[in-house]
Amino acid sequence: MKSHSNIEIRRCRPLLGTFVEITARGHDERLLVRGIEGGFDAIERVNRLMSFHDTLSDVSRMNRDAFPKGVIVHPWTWQVMKASKRFAEESLGTFDITVAPWLTKWNYLPRRRYQFSPTASSRDIFLRRNYEIFFRRELIVDLGGIAKGFAVDRAVDALKENGIGCGIVNAGGDLRTFGPASQLIHLRHPKDPIRVAGAVRLRERAMATSGIYFERRKYRGKYVGPLLDGRTGQSGRELISVSVAAAECMAADALTKVIFALREKAAGLLAQYQADALLLERNGASSWMFHSSCDTSDGTRFD
């Protein structure tokens, strides 16, 4: 361990429906503990604002009232809605936060009595001034495909604001490293979680993974995964896992869903975000879609 960061504090709490782990390195234990508190506070705030389950969250308020009257949301929620719209446009609709009706139908999310138009999409969401969100049609949004990454980014901000120079925030597998030292990240194998599919070194970089892991349910006799192509409502079949590394965890998180649907066709989008992707297929094949470089100086990458 380097002399300038001789203490490591690591904490884990159940948040965002998963386990959120924050690691901070430095030499002042009290500073590290305070910074970690700040990180968890940020994540709890995102949790409160963007939970689909919490009836008081911005997401629930939007789903109730953004059509027809519009809802004022927290700037963070607004930011995520704006990014979601952008990802929907850039991905030709494959990333779409309005797929919730399908998920609800498959029991991934709680059943609600919300009304929704079956053909509604992100195009029907409008961002107005003063953080107002308006839906042009009846629709349901679920930020589950992007809020976790956003939460990780906000936690990293909070840690830095608290004077932490080096650490990792890992929200159930969506993570971001910051600071001068690179971190070894193992990738869980989707088909056999006892094993790791490989390892990658990341420095100042986020990584998110979406996959069909333990979560598979039967719907009309077919197994479906929680990942959907926003255009068709069909769940991805051949790919079982997509990992994306990018500068920010929100982009990494959203891009995993886009790659799931578009695969190679999303190469341009990956390039735009200077992101890398690793795809694992059901038959065991794996491949990199590679643009910018992760920190691969020690050659660890996937081996």
CB of 116 to other proteins, least distance (A): 25
The enclosing H or E element of 190 equals: none
Nearer to other proteins, 12 or 72 (CB): 12
Q: Which amino acid is at 190?
A: P
Q: Which amino acid is at 255?
A: L
| Residue position matching structure tokens 């068709």 | 232
Q: Which of positions 15-44 make contact with other proteins (CB under 8 A)?
A: 15, 17-19, 21, 23, 33
Q: Is 14 in the site for other proteins (CB under 8 A)?
A: yes
CB of 191 to other proteins, least distance (A): 5
Q: Is 291 in the site for other proteins (CB under 8 A)?
A: yes
Q: Is 231 in the site for other proteins (CB under 8 A)?
A: no
Q: Return all residues near 17 (Cβ < 8 A) that are at least 6 apart.
A: 172
| Cβ atoms 206, 252 nearer than 8 A | yes
Outline where 66-138 has alpha helix (H).
75-90, 100-105
Report helix, strand or coil for 6. Answer: coil
How many CB atoms are located within 10 Å of the residue 74 CB?
Answer: 16
Q: Is 170 in the site for other proteins (CB under 8 A)?
A: yes
Q: Of 5, 77, 182, 243, which one interacts with other proteins (CB under 8 A)?
A: 243
Q: Which of positions 172-201 make contact with other proteins (CB under 8 A)?
A: 172-175, 183-199
CA distance 20 to 6: 23
Reported as half-sphere exposure (CB side, CA atoms, 13 A), residue 57 has a value of: 23
Would you give the binding string for other proteins spanning residues 65-104, x where CB under 8 A is met?
Answer: ----------------------------------------
Would you give the binding string for other proteins spanning residues 130-169, x where CB under 8 A is met?
Answer: ------------------x-------------------x-
| Cβ atoms 231, 93 nearer than 8 A | yes
Q: Is 213 in the site for other proteins (CB under 8 A)?
A: yes
Nearer to other proteins, 21 or 138 (CB): 21
Cα separations (Å) of 128 from 39, 57, 148, 286? 30, 19, 24, 43
CB of 63 to other proteins, least distance (A): 22
Nearer to other proteins, 26 or 190 (CB): 190
Range in contact with other proteins (rule: CB under 8 A) among 7-15, 73-81, 133-141, 154-162: 7-15
Q: Is 241 in the site for other proteins (CB under 8 A)?
A: yes
Q: Of 207, 224, 255, 262, which one interacts with other proteins (CB under 8 A)?
A: 207
Report helix, strand or coil for 158. Answer: helix
Cα separations (Å) of 159 from 42, 155, 254? 10, 6, 23
| Cβ atoms 182, 201 nearer than 8 A | yes
Residues of the shown chain interacting with other proteins in the complex, contacts defined by CB under 8 A: 10-15, 17-19, 21, 23, 33, 148, 168, 170-175, 183-199, 207-209, 211, 213-215, 241, 243, 264, 267-268, 271-272, 274, 284-291, 302-303
